[in-house]
Structure 1
């Protein structure tokens, strides 16, 4: 249940769908650290871990923008 609470908080912060937030979560370094019990991260608050996930999201966005990657938008 902890993962679900973290993902919900993260999704709410970024106004993402739950599915998109869940996909990002399971591919994240934050998830890897929690699931491997590194530094007892699973003991930290849901809010703190959602903020860690948000920082990871922002870092990935900065890296992709600095590499010239942009979001792709399709016109219907």
Structure 2
């Protein structure tokens, strides 16, 4: 399933902001990590309808990925 590109960009922004707040990192650092993450790739490609998951869930997944490479 493909998401509307504008809505998807807004979802990215919300997830990045939430992730930044949780990890106490700058928005730039959060943005950089997000666009190199597996979470982003899955959302972008529509795998398992990841883009349909809640912002909270996606931030959790991103945080888990971040802590695994930290």
Work out which of the residue numbers 42, 58, 61 in structure 2 matches 1:52. 61
In the superposition, the TM-score normalised over structure 1's length comes to: 0.79
Q: Which runs of 4+ in 1 moved over 2 A?
A: none
In the superposition, the TM-score normalised over structure 2's length comes to: 0.86
Structure number with higher helix proportion: 2
Give the aligned partner of residue 9 of structure 1.
Answer: 18
Larger Rg: 1
What SS does structure 1 have at the residue aligned with 2:25?
A: coil
Q: Which has the higher contact order (CA 8 A, sep 6+)?
A: 2
Give 1:5 deviation, angstroms.
0.0
Q: Which runs of 5+ in 1 are unaligned?
A: 62-76
User: How do 1:1-76 and structure 2 match up within 5 A?
Assistant: 1-61=10-70
Q: Which runs of 5+ in 2 are unaligned?
A: 1-9
Count of matched residue pairs:
61
